[in-house]
A and B are shown apart, each in its own frame.
Chain A
């Protein structure tokens, strides 16, 4: 089994490149058992969606100093 730390790196990498078959296998196996890393992966996807939405947001951004 790979550790949560390694999983967090793989989840990040999966947002930037296709994972290898091996990586996908170990990632899936870990996520199958580990709810915490499942939550983490969900959060990473949500952050990506939210960043994209920020760029399209119709509101004027708040002024900053």
Chain B
């Protein structure tokens, strides 16, 4: 087993923190998940050596830790009084009139490639992701960051495929609204 260099470990830790934070959206919860991941890795005699595969391997362990946290949160949400209140966010139907036309027709955000280079856009996106209702954020981040299929998300979190699709739609509409409000208006003065 080749010992892993200290700098590499710091770099790995930083990567795992970003990954965990995007899903769990809370620094201390993310730190716990990363710590558990690294500990689990160190306790396995065969696995923890340097090389390009180590990050993928650690991300795989972290993914399971994140899903464990999500399941716990879902159980807590199910028993909490707040469960029904804000669980699913704003109804996207409100964005359309009775005939199904946009109340506010989407305007172009400009060149997508340039947008990704814009620090303010990325910061606003992360903040908006942090503001998504818990259950929507779970499904959304597992789909968009981890890249699980909807079938995988359904079986991991115990939800129906239809519910999963509805939640992904709501998350995307909510995130878009949040970006419109916080990035378009402030980021691009009229």
Contact = CB atoms under 8 A, between A and B. Distances in A.
A55 interface: yes
Interface in B97-150: 99-102, 105-109, 112, 115-116, 121-123, 125-126, 129-130, 141, 143-145, 149-150
A4 B116 contact: no
Given A37-B106, A64-B27, A3 B100 contact: yes
B76 interface: no
Interface residues of A, number: 37
B17 interface: yes
B19 A55 contact: yes
A50 B93 contact: no
Interface in A39-65: 39-40, 42-58, 60-64
Given A54-B125, A55-B19, A4 B101 contact: yes
Given A39-B107, A40-B106, A47 B116 contact: no
B111 to A, nearest CB: 10
A47 B176 CA distance: 8
A52 B144 contact: yes
A16 B150 CA distance: 7
A9 interface: yes
A3 B176 CA distance: 19
Interface in A1-16: 3-6, 8-9, 12-13, 15-16
Query: 8 smallest A-B Cβ distances: which pairs?
Result: A3-B100, A36-B105, A5-B100, A46-B112, A51-B144, A39-B106, A5-B96, A40-B106
DSSP class of A's interface residues: helix, strand, loop or mixed?
A: helix
Interface stretch (B39-47, B66-74, B166-174): B166-174
Contact of B22 (A4, A17, A44, A55): A55
Contact of A55 (B92, B105, B145): B145
A45 B102 CA distance: 19
B21 A61 contact: yes
A12 B126 CA distance: 20
Contacts of A9: 169
